[in-house]
Amino acid sequence: MTIKPLESLPPTETFEMESGLKLVPRLKLNFTVYPLTPSVTKSLDEWKLKRALIEFLKSSFSAPVIVPEEDLVIKRIKQLKTRKCGDPLARGTLFVRDLAFLKTANKRYEEEEEEVTALEKKFLDWRQLLVEKLDGIELNLEGFKFKLTVFIPECDNFEQMKRNWEEFYAFGNQGYSRSGSQGPDTITLRGAPSRWFAEPWVSSKPSMLVTHTIFSTFGSIRNLNIAVDDDFGKDGNEDGEDIISGLHCKITVQFEKHRDFYNALKVLSGRSLQKQGSRLWADYEVTWEKDGFTQYSRIQTSGNGSRMKEISARQFKNEALGRQRYSGSIPDDSRRKRFKE
């Protein structure tokens, strides 16, 4: 497990969590493809666009940016035949996972905090340069010209989210949330693989106990909610209706302290989730909640503020009983390893 304080974690370092999970650094960029040739009516050749972008990234920077084909996702726009002139042809996502070149220090620092600050600045400057070079580039694919617009999604831009909540609490909400706090304390994570948050040997559905243990890495939790997230990944995807139900879950966490919320959002932003023993990446989306733990507000009834806590306690109790029911087939040393502090 990582013992370094969250405040001292640079954006290029992996963060280990409970249950064999870890958060691996990466850069995510979204882009939109527009035609520059008026006569373009056929569908975009996705493979040729991928090859052109990969070659551009390799040759346009002093330190080549290496992107495998599987980390460049392109989705066609629906109803291409009825689109109007100037409408986009496709949207895509680019992941840069090899950030090792950013870790090379040009000098030694006396203090760890100074080194982390320098790494953060180096990463942000490089990210900005990458966006500036990619945004607006024109590509010629067999005589047809296309233009790309590129941006950093807000869920991966911690600095922008921080500016947004500071502005919201300073001007848009009279400095208070519904829960009475003077700053946000709740995050929502979408696209988390349900099985990775499940209780082994008990169920394939996400577990309140396991999820609570995982997110307690960031600090004390006040409220927690887990829901099926079948809509994740459907936006702009022609094959979205074929996504298996229950594959992903949405996790909402309210922390006791704003500082824990701050650290959690900063560490979760700009990283992908990976499970020990798996080669798959979970490229989730994370954001902050303006109204705090809304599920808590909806379930509350007038004069009965403990109902949500009672429901959560009941869920924890049921899962604990389920674990006891299956504990006979689990070796004692295995149980100690899984729940080791």
Measured CA to CA in angstroms, residue 223 lies from 19, 60, 66, 257, 311 at distances of 20, 47, 41, 12, 11
Domain definitions of the chain by residue range: 6-152, 177-338
Same topology between domain 6-152 and domain 177-338: yes
CATH number belonging to domain 6-152: 3.30.70
Question: How many CB atoms within 10 Å of residue 219?
Answer: 19
Dihedral, 175, 179, 183, 188 alpha carbons, nearest 10: -130
Smallest CA-to-CA distance from 225 within 265, 253, 204 is with: 253
In words, the CATH class of domain 177-338 is: alpha beta
Q: What is the pLDDT along the chain (341 residues), one digit of tens a residue?
A: 445 678 788 899 999 999 899 999 999 999 999 988 766 656 678 899 999 999 999 999 888 999 999 999 998 887 656 667 778 888 999 999 999 888 765 555 556 677 788 889 999 999 999 999 999 999 988 788 889 999 999 999 999 999 999 998 887 655 455 555 568 999 999 999 999 999 888 888 889 999 999 999 999 999 999 998 887 766 544 544 555 667 899 999 999 999 999 999 999 999 999 998 888 889 999 999 988 776 544 443 333 334 444 445 455 555 555 554 443 333 444 333 333 33
pTM over 0.85: no
Q: Which two tokens stand for residue 111?
A: 């203090």
Q: Which residues contact 85 (CB under 8 A, 6 or more apart)?
A: 38
Q: What is the largest CA-CA distance in the chain?
A: 69
Q: The dihedral of CA 264, 269, 271, 275: what is its sign?
A: positive
Residue 332 CA, chain-centre distance (Å), reads 35
Q: What are phi and psi of 188, to 5 degrees?
A: -125, 130
